Structure 1
Amino acid sequence: MSSDAPTLVDEIVARARIHAREVANGDGDYHLPVDLESLEWDVSSRARRRAGACRWNADREVATIVLARRAYERYDWPAFAAVVRHELVHAWEFQQFGESGHGKRFHERAAELDAPRHCQAFADPRYLLRCLESNCDWRARRHRASKPVKSPDRYRCGACGGSYEAEHVDSGRTWTTASGYGGAKAALGDEW
């Protein structure tokens, strides 16, 4: 194989650029007047939670759309194209207003483009947070050992305010304190 052979990253960026051009030009079902000349592309091989992100460099007035390689590998093209459109809405908002979020303006434009407000999961979480109150079914997925995962006793349930436990999904081990987290991690060793 030659060193000039296209890579998976090249494929992702090429397909995303083609789709972005179709959207910007109104070729097909969608139209959003995003300035493609002020748009850059990148691919993350580390991302596990977000299928895409859009970063704004106000000094250069350039938006960079970062797409997750794992999401591209797991989604079918229509689902991944919807992620591209979602990020294009962010780019358009940055270009037009200097800011972007998931508010009313974003929601309206995303709906016009059949772009999801949130993307379907493409990776299994490493951790699960679960409320311990019997009348509450609050749960949260985590891909990294965040502070609430490491010290669940310092935080409260997002729905009812009760205590919760953290679970290492692969092993099923649970804990409710920082020392419990450390014990589970030590017990699992290389399987952590």
Structure 2
Amino acid sequence: MPEWPPTGRDALLARAREYARTVDIDVDPDALSWEVSERAKRRAGACRYDPATGEVTIRLARRAADAFSWNEFARVVRHELVHAWEYREFGEAGHGPRFRAQADRLDVTTTCPTFAAARLRLRCTDPACDWRADRHRAAATVTEPERRRCGRCGSRYEVEHVASGETWRTAAGYRGARERIEEW
């Protein structure tokens, strides 16, 4: 077994493409474009489709390769190959029933694992509910939590900035936290 993680982007792409050739899915890995992202901080892989040209590109995160074992990274490659198959066959891709059927067959989940610690955590305020969700960005679920509800019981939730422990339940609370937290 070759060294993992490989050094250099060419070696990483070669390893991913070589592995992709062994995956039992109707996609020619050599007909895809392959890229390495040196900037990605959360997403281990992505699959892009250009409907004008039909080109499908799989982008793999260097940081994910460095953080994951080969088996974990191979799952990312399989996950993105399912998206590539969907784009090639149907001109669209998602995580619906068609994706799930292929993902189950290839032993991958509908989401790629993260390789970075979450910066923010949503937590239900109902003591009887243990719902939590991690977030990396300050999207509306973080900036306007009063407009959303717990994913399990429908109660309100609070947002925690993990590093500082600061919490809020409203847009005003978010704005105040942003002003107080130096290392966002």
Q: TM-score, normalised by structure 1?
A: 0.84
CA distance in 1 between counterparts of 2:107 and 2:141 reads 34
CA contact 1:13–1:41 (8 Å) conserved in 2: yes
- 1:3-82 matches, cutoff 5 A: 8-23=8-23, 31-82=24-75
The code of the aligned residue for 2:162 comes to V
The answer to whether 1:92 aligns with 2:72 is no
Please state if 1:173 is matched with 2:174. Answer: no
| Alpha-carbon distance in structure 2 between the residues aligned to 1:19 and 1:63 | 17
**Partner secondary structure for residue 121 of structure 1:** coil
Does the CA contact (< 8 Å) of 2:79 and 2:112 recur in 1? no
- Larger Rg over CA atoms: 1
Residues 166, 176 of structure 1: 8 Å contact kept? yes
CA deviation profile, 1:27-86 (whole Å, cap 9, x unmatched)? xxxx22213343111222333332111111122111111112221111101110111011
- Matched pairs, number: 179
Aligned-pair CA distance for 1:146: 1.0
Unaligned runs of 5+ in 1: 1-5, 24-30
- Which aligned runs of 4 or more in structure 1 are off by greater than 6 angstroms? none
| Deviation per residue, 1:75-132 (Å, 9 max, x gap) | 1011101110111111112112222222333222223322333233311100001111
Question: Percent of counterpart pairs with the same letter?
Answer: 55
* Cα 1:169–1:64 shift into 2, 3 Å: same
Find the aligned partners of 1:151 and 1:168 in 2 and give their Cα distance.
14
Q: What is aligned with 1:3?
A: none
SS at match of 2:133: strand
Q: Which residue of 2 aligns with 1:118?
A: 111
- What is residue 138 of structure 2 aligned with on the other side? 145
What's the secondary structure of 2:158's corresponding residue?
A: strand
Contact 1:130 1:166 in 2 (8 A): yes
Q: Cα RMSD over matched residues?
A: 1.9
State the Cα deviation string for residues 152-180 of structure 1 (Å, max 9, x = none).
12222222221111110011111112222
Give 2:76's aligned residue. Answer: 83
User: For structure 2, which runs of at least 5 residues remain unmatched after alignment?
Assistant: 1-5
The alignment's TM-score, normalised by the length of structure 2, stands at 0.87
Paired residues of 1:83 and 1:116 also in contact (CA < 8 A): no
Q: Does the 8 A contact of 1:38 with 1:61 survive in 2?
A: no
